[in-house]
Amino acid sequence: MFQSHVLRLVTFAALSCFFAAGTLFGATFYVAVDGNDTTGTGSTTTPWATLQQAVSQVSDGDEIVVRDGVYRGQNLLERQFANGIVIRSENNYQARFVFTGPSIVGTDCQGMRFQGFVFQQETPFPQDNVVMMTGDTQRITFDNNIFHDAIRLSLLYFGPGGVDLTMTNNMFYNAGLASESNHIRVEGGRNVLISDNVFFNDYEGSGRGNTNNSGAFVFITNPTDVAGVDNIQIRRNIMFHWQGLDNISMIQLGSLSNADHYDAENVTVENNLMLGDGPLDSRAFLTLQNARSITIRNNTFSGDLPSLAFAFYMISSQPTILNDEITITNNIWNDPFGTMGARNNEGILDFCDCLPQFNDLVILANNLYYNGGNPMPFDQEELLNPVGDSSGTFEDPLLATPETITLPRYSGGSFLGGHATIREVFVAMADAYGRVGAGSPAINGAPLSPEDDLLGNLRGSTGDLGAMEFAVCSLAGDLNDDRAVNEGDFGVFRAAWTTTGVADLNNDGRVSVLDGVQLRNQIAACGEET
């Protein structure tokens, strides 16, 4: 048993080193602003000038290091790598790709990881995306990058046909000023992971006028019904400071323009923290259009979000394509101001715009709702109302109110708020606005939760409602490998009382009553009393 725990740690450490380096045996090549694509060899002393040239020359398993500086122009990438290559900034956020159009255009790219860059556009008025991947795109990862200030369209665009697409630990702000612009736009894709990212808008901070005319932070659609949309995970993200259109939501699954097929299928939205912290109207936190097999669980939706409906806008294009198999559970819906779903904070409160004729099987169960002490929204014409959640909780979750958030744009070598990395921004916001207070009714309220929470901490067998655990659950005491620290582990502990190893939880070289105390504390933290 003890060996299995050690093996997991050793395996994880080995894999971490492997992926951090790119591959075990690949060579490293360089790109620099003073490089030369004609005479350069990609060495430290004779680097290439463009990423396009570097990608065209390296071999499978190699690493491309891009040195500090501003790289202008477009890079067309068209290679496929079976084992993959790593393309990284030599210093985080110090290599910047800036262009009036898309600075990176990938066509049929496979096996590429982009890490540590800044991607942005500049005027005059480009009509395209900042970074775009089209064709037979496979095994593409964007990790720890900053995407900001598209002029018209999206910050990161994937065309139909993408497979194994990963966007993790990035920051996105200021998509283009058009309804079809998004922070991330996926038009058909399979095995897509959007995780641990920060999304917001701050047009004024970029010296741009805010016309409230941009689209969703994340938009999943399937315009052709050929490539399909399957196994999409939108998890552990933070979204806030809406400045988009008032008929668009932060997350949009599906589109009414595709009337003959389901437009978003097999999508999981979990462990996200979504905040209302501004005065501008949105449609809702989430929109579902022609969507099927959608799971929305353990998210925290909190703050003052002026909107047409606080939680959902759910509609379909025709009677044969109804929203179907929708599960909504273990979420927190919190408006401490008592204006849940009121447009401009005035008028009728509204939880969900979801008429029965547009929706088939929708399950709303075991969520927490709080409207600042005011009555919950209710509309008998709608399919979903909080009072219809028979296992729901209607108490204050004890969350901090998201007001006057420092918008963490990147400036002068750091993020506003004093953070050095995107991850630091993420953790600070999660701790400030995602963690419930002591005694919250959300604690231990979600027995069927994801394995982890917003910060990647293990939940144990009984998790908390919402995106984030109040107390971190360590499974170091899971001695019988059942993913829980509970009474069963005491049996293993007692059997190993006279030996070291599996029951030596405090690693002092012996098994004593101190290990029993530690196990009991872990059980309490994980919500499993003995």
Phi, psi of 429 (to 5 degrees): -70, -40
User: 521 and 395 in one domain?
Assistant: no
Tell me, yes or no, whether 136 lies in a domain. Answer: no
Same domain, 327 and 423: yes
Percent of the chain as helix, strand, coil, to the nearest 5: 15, 30, 55
Please name the helix (run of DSSP H) or strand (run of DSSP E) that holds residue 54, with its range, or none. Answer: helix 51-57
Give the model's pLDDT for residue 14: 41
pLDDT higher than 50, residue 2: no
Is residue 219 located within the same domain as residue 311? yes
Cα–Cα dist 148/159, whole Å: 20
Domain shared by 359 and 492, yes or no: no
**To the nearest whole number, what is the mean pLDDT of the chain?**
88
Same domain, yes or no: 422 and 504 = no
Structure tokens at 58: 């390296």
- Residue 65 in any domain: the answer is no
435, 328: one domain:
yes
Kindly tell me if the per-residue pLDDT of 12 is higher than 80.
Answer: no
User: Which pLDDT score is estimated for 467?
Assistant: 98
> Among residues of the chain, what percentage have pLDDT more than 70?
82
Q: Tell me the pLDDT tens digit for each residue of 235-268.
A: 999 999 999 999 999 999 998 776 678 889 999 9
Please say whether the beta carbons of 345 and 306 come within 8 A.
Answer: yes
Which one is predicted more confidently, 488 or 454? 454
The reply to whether 449 and 497 lie within a common domain is no
Average pLDDT over residues 504-516: 65
Residue with tokens 């399919």: 383
Please check whether residues 350 and 405 belong to one and the same domain.
yes
- Model confidence pLDDT, tens digit, residues 318-358: 888 899 999 999 999 999 999 999 887 667 899 999 999 99
Query: Do 387 and 500 fall within a single domain?
Result: no
Residue 421 burial (C-beta neighbours within 10 Å; 0-12, 13-18, 19+) = middle
Residue 465 has pLDDT above 70, yes or no: yes
Distance of CA 159 to the CA centre of its chain: 19
Question: What is the predicted pLDDT for the residue at 231?
Answer: 93
Q: Which residues of 372-391 are buried (b: 16+ CB within 10 A; e: fewer)?
A: eeeebbebeebbbbbeebee
Do the beta carbons of residue 44 and residue 35 sit within 8 Å?
A: no
The range of the structural domain enclosing residue 189 comes to 163-473
Question: Does 417 map to a domain?
Answer: yes
- The three-point CA angle 289-293-295 to 5° equals 95
- Residue from 268, 299, 271 nearest 367 by CA: 299
Average pLDDT over residues 212-228: 85
Is the pLDDT at 489 greater than 80, yes or no? no
- Provide the number of structural domains found in the chain: 2
Whether the Cβ atoms of residue 169 and residue 235 lie closer than 8 Å to each other: no
Rounded Cα distance between 282 and 246, Å, is 4
pLDDT over 70 (residue 125): no
356 DSSP 8-state letter: G
**Would you place residue 495 in the very low, low, confident or very high pLDDT band (cuts 50, 70, 90)?**
low
Residue 524 has pLDDT above 70, yes or no: no
